[in-house]
Every structure is written in structure tokens, then in C-alpha cells.
């Protein structure tokens, strides 16, 4: 017997209940009949010869900024995947522990997903107990910091995060886009949410995280080289966001050549200079140039920054309306209001922790103070 209905209605469902939203599919004996029944329910016209609708829709609508809204779920999945890789590969060691703590702090303050902020905070508050620094030799990991240990019991973005179902980041082939795309969207979303006083700390935290935890050795070294080329600290959030945007375009330019020579690219999603002109015509000072001529493009960086803030800020969370996911929850706040509230709620302890770290020149004071503040804070209503 096949059943049809909203997933949440199956919890505690009683088959004898009248006027239920769960329907019995009585005539689903063949694939054709079943698909016809589904099309009737949805008012759609899907067929067995349909391609990947999401990909075709995205590919043909570069000029639609609303497409990025689908990426909020990919950002959650990329965050969960990255955390899972770190645990599975046993990458938490004495030399990488501080880097992970700083990145978790960044996620707590600025992750676009409410449940990822909450999950990161839960891990961070208990991190000293879950992964004490004294049990970490210089080049070895401890089981308590691996997937087999207590840290492996934490779900950084909750238990309901989809696995392997990329939406905005889905490629036309199984080995393209996906996690790397979701990770880039996460980094861009963080870069447009930090404030001026946090920009250099966010930059160094991002660079250290990629260097210590990204599994692609060539990618790590290339990104590290771009980070090392920055000679002076960032003073404005705009500077960090534009640096990350430029770095991403440099990566794309390098991969364009590699994929063309090796034939490893996604034919439906070739690497392009970002943003394409269809998406942000005002970003280009020389309208005659195409977005594939990165070295020859004269960018209007003020317009680029406005685009990044809108695209990876407001537009990214537009679909985040499910009651369990909506950042405002039942408080009546809008998504953007809750994003601001969540950020400001953590800025004070982060700033205080940073001041202590500068004064003492010891990262231990930073982590200890921040987590002690979190432990003493009352639970926030918006996380309930």
C-alpha cells in the first residue's frame, strides 16, 4: 500500500482517522499509473523522460536572483558534511583545535541558518569537555574528538538536514558541484554578515579553517597562497567580502583551464566569472566585455559589494519559511530581523574575547572566556 501526504502528518498517524490529509494510493500498480496519479495531485505534467528539472531551471535563469534562495539548504548540508569529514578523517589535533574553535565561533555569530547557529553553539559550549586539549598529541587525534567519540553524537545543523540532495548546488554529474559549491556559498554568506570590526578575524579564521580541514591538498595550498598574499589587515567588512569574491573568481579561472584540458568539468555548469552580466549588469564598467574575460573586466566594486550583500544575505534566506527553520520562529520577527538579533547577541562576547586575546596574546583566553559567557547565558527563546 502506498500513502501520500505531508511528511509531518505521518507522525502519530492513525489509519482509522477520518478527514486525514494522508491519502491511500489505490491504483499505483504500474509506474505510468502512479505518475499519472501524482501529476493529478500536483497539477503537474512530469514524464519519465524529464531531465533534472532543477538544473535546467537554474541554467536557463541566471538573471533570476531568487535562485540562490534554494541554496540555504545546501549551506546547511555543506556545513554538516564538513563537520562529518573533520570527524571521520580525525582531523582535530593539537595544531588544528584552535582553528576549529574559531570557525565554530564564526558560525555561531553569522551562519545564515538558525539550526546551524544553534548546533555550532551547542558544540562550542561543550567543546572543552568533548575534546580536551591535554589529550591531543602534536600529530595524533583522540577518539573523543572523532566520530566514534562524544563529539560524533552532535549534529551541527540538526538531525533533519537532507543528505545528498543538493538543490542550487546539484550538478548534472554525480562528481561535480555539490559540497564544494555549498561550501563556497557558506563562506560568501559569512563574509557579508560580519561587521567591520570582525572582518580581519573572519578572514584569518576562514583561511585557517580551509588550510587545516579541506581535504583537497592542491586546493588547500592554492587558497593558502591567496591568503598569504594579503599584506595588511582588513578594516572593513566590505574588504573581506570583496577579497573572497576575487579569490573565488581566481579559483574559477584556474579550474576553467584544468577542466577544459582534462574534460572533468560539468557540461551543464561550466565555470564562469562571477557574477555573470545577466545577474548583475551594473557590476560591469565595460558592458562590451563578457564575464569569461576576467582579466579584462573593469569591475564596479561598489556595485559588486551591493550585489554580494543582497545575493548572499537577504536573497539566500528568502525560502527559509518553514516553521521549524524560519529564523523568526513564533516571535513574529522577520528572517532578517532574527539574523541581526542572532548576530548582535554574540558580537559582545566575541569582541570581549578578542580584546582579552590581544591583551594576553593567548588564544586559550579567547576560547575560555567566550564559552564561559555562553554557559552563563540564559537560553534564547528564538532557539526553542
Q: What is the CATH number of the domain that holds 278?
A: 1.20.120.310
Whether residue 60 is contained in a domain is answered as no
- How many CA atoms are closer than 13 Å to the CA of 131, on its beta-carbon side? 30
Q: What is the pLDDT of residue 165?
A: 79
Count of beta carbons in the 10 Å neighbourhood of residue 131: 22
Q: What is the pLDDT of residue 140?
A: 52
Whether residue 26 is contained in a domain is answered as yes
User: Residue holding cell 584556474?
Assistant: 254
How far apart CA 207 and CA 233 sit, in angstroms, is: 13
Q: What is the pLDDT of residue 348?
A: 30
Instruction: Count the domains in the chain.
Output: 2
Shared domain check, 154 and 9: no
Shared domain check, 147 and 275: yes
Shared domain check, 359 and 216: yes
Q: What is the pLDDT of residue 148?
A: 58
Shared domain check, 240 and 166: yes
Q: What is the pLDDT of residue 216?
A: 86
Domain span at residue 25 reads: 2-50
Shared domain check, 75 and 138: yes
∠64-65-71 over CA atoms, to 5°? Answer: 115
- Residue 233, judged by CB atoms within 10 A of its CB (0-12, 13-18, 19+), counts as exposed
Mean pLDDT by 10 residues, the chain (384 residues): 71 71 73 79 67 44 67 92 90 89 96 93 89 64 60 85 81 81 95 94 96 90 94 93 95 83 78 88 76 69 95 81 43 40 36 36 40 46 32
How far apart CA 79 and CA 345 sit, in angstroms, is: 21
In this structure, are residues 124 and 372 in contact, taking their beta carbons and an 8 Å threshold? no
How far apart CA 103 and CA 339 sit, in angstroms, is: 18
How far apart CA 301 and CA 236 sit, in angstroms, is: 14
Shared domain check, 37 and 79: no
The pTM for the full model equals 0.69
Whether residue 6 is contained in a domain is answered as yes
Name 212's Cβ contacts closer than 8 Å, sequence gap at least 6: 91, 95, 96, 99, 100
Whether residue 45 is contained in a domain is answered as yes
Shared domain check, 17 and 74: no
In 3D, which of 213, 223, 230 has the Cα closest to residue 248?
223
Whether residue 228 is contained in a domain is answered as yes
Q: Which three cell numbers stand for residue 221?
A: 595550498
In this structure, are residues 371 and 125 in contact, taking their beta carbons and an 8 Å threshold? yes
In this structure, are residues 117 and 107 in contact, taking their beta carbons and an 8 Å threshold? yes
Whether residue 62 is contained in a domain is answered as no
Whether residue 61 is contained in a domain is answered as no
Q: What is the pLDDT of residue 136?
A: 58
In 3D, which of 52, 282, 92 has the Cα closest to residue 177?
52
CA dihedral of residues 151, 381, 332, 346 (deg, nearest 10): -70
Shared domain check, 46 and 107: no
Q: What is the pLDDT of residue 48?
A: 67
How far apart CA 291 and CA 251 sit, in angstroms, is: 15
Q: DSSP 3-state assignment of 54? A: helix
Q: What is the pLDDT of residue 46?
A: 67
Phi, psi (degrees; rounded to nearest 5) at 18: -90, 155
Shared domain check, 125 and 9: no
Q: Give the E-state strand segments of the chain in sequence order.
A: 2-4, 23-25
Shared domain check, 322 and 238: yes
Shared domain check, 155 and 9: no
Whether residue 56 is contained in a domain is answered as no
Q: What is the pLDDT of residue 340?
A: 37
Shared domain check, 167 and 71: yes
Helix axes 217-228, 199-213, angle to 10 degrees: 150
Amino acid at each position: 500500500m502506498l500513502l501520500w501526504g505531508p511528511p509531518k502528518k505521518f507522525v502519530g498517524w492513525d489509519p482509522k482517522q477520518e478527514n486525514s490529509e494522508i491519502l491511500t494510493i489505490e491504483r499505483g500498480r504500474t509506474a505510468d499509473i502512479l505518475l499519472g496519479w501524482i501529476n493529478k495531485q500536483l497539477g503537474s505534467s512530469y514524464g519519465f523522460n524529464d531531465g533534472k528539472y532543477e538544473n535546467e531551471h537554474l541554467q536557463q535563469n541566471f538573471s533570476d536572483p531568487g535562485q540562490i534562495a534554494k541554496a540555504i539548504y545546501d549551506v546547511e548540508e555543506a556545513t554538516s558534511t564538513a563537520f562529518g569529514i573533520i570527524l571521520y578523517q580525525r582531523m582535530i589535533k593539537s595544531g588544528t583545535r584552535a582553528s576549529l574553535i574559531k570557525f565554530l565561533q564564526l558560525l555561531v555569530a553569522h551562519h545564515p541558518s538558525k539550526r546551524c547557529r544553534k548546533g555550532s553553539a551547542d558544540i562550542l559550549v561543550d567543546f572543552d569537555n568533548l575534546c580536551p586539549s591535554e589529550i591531543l598529541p602534536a600529530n595524533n587525534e583522540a577518539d573523543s574528538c572523532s566520530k566514534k567519540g562524544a563529539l560524533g553524537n552532535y549534529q551541527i545543523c540538526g538531525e533533519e538536514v537532507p543528505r545528498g540532495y543538493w538543490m542550487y548546488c546539484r550538478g548534472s554529474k554525480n562528481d561535480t558541484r555539490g559540497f564544494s559549491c555549498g561550501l563556497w556559498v557558506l563562506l560568501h554568506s559569512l563574509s557579508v554578515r560580519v561587521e567591520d570590526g570582525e572582518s580581519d578575524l573572519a578572514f584569518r579564521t576562514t583561511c585557517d579553517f580551509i588550510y587545516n580541514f579541506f581535504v583537497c591538498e592542491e586546493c588547500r595550498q592554492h587558497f593558502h597562497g591567496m591568503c598569504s598574499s594579503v599584506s595588511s589587515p582588513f578594516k572593513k567588512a566590505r574588504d573581506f567580502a570583496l577579497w573572497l569574491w576575487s579569490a573565488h573568481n581566481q579559483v574559477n579561472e584556474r579550474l576553467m583551464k584544468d577542466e577544459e584540458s582534462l574534460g572533468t568539468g560539468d557540461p551543464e555548469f561550466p565555470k564562469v566569472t562571477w557574477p555573470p552580466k545577466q545577474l548583475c549588469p551594473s557590476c560591469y564598467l565595460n558592458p562590451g566585455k563578457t564575464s569569461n574575460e576576467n582579466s579584462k573586466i573593469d569591475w564596479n566594486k561598489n556595485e559588486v559589494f551591493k550585489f554580494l550583500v543582497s545575493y548572499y544575505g537577504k536573497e539566500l534566506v528568502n525560502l527559509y519559511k518553514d516553521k521549524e527553520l524560519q529564523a523568526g520562529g513564533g516571535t513574529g520577527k522577520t528572517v532578517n530581523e532574527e539574523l541581526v538579533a542572532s548576530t548582535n547577541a554574540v558580537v559582545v562576547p566575541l569582541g570581549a574575547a578578542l580584546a582579552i586575546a590581544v591583551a594576553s596574546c593567548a588564544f586559550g583566553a579567547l576560547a575560555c572566556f567566550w564559552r564561559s559567557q555562553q554557559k552563563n547565558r540564559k537560553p534564547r527563546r528564538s532557539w526553542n
